[in-house]
Amino acid sequence: MGAHSARHLRRVLRLYLVRSGLAEVTEAAELALTELVANVVRHVPDRRCRVCFLLRPDGLRVEVADDCPELPVPADADALSEGGRGLVIVAAVADGWGVTPYADGRGKTVWFECVPRRDVRRRSPGGRSHPGAC
């Protein structure tokens, strides 16, 4: 991942969503994707990852997988911190998100889901649902 990777991925995601009839979740999905890519750039030693956009019956799922075993945890950033808000932002704009460690412990997939307002049900990483929108 480089400085222009997030911009390119946002462009690809936007085209995918528009062509799939999910344009209404574009803004939230782009922001969440940007935060996950920024986490790769900051925390994955070789800055390599795999990104997958999945069209699901209820909306969009985006997965960002890497080979770094360290699992991300939402930070309690104070108001003056320059960083540490990425996962908090993802949680705020997405309808669900989570982390799935690889079975061998050598990496993980961080994912988020955005659901169009016509089928709004917010899901937390624990699987519970609550009202909201992407």
Alpha helices in 67-119 (DSSP H): 86-93
Ordered domains of the chain (ranges, CATH): 5-130 (3.30.565.10)
Q: Is a pLDDT exceeding 50 seen at residue 132?
A: no
DSSP letter (8 states) at residue 72: P
Determine the residue type at 122. Answer: R
pTM equals 0.81
pLDDT tens-digit series, residues 70-128: 998 877 665 555 556 789 999 999 999 999 999 999 999 999 999 998 744 445 454 43
| Closest alpha carbon to 62 in 13, 125, 103, 116 | 13
pLDDT, tens digit, 9 for 90 and up, residues 35-63: 999 999 999 999 999 999 999 999 999 99
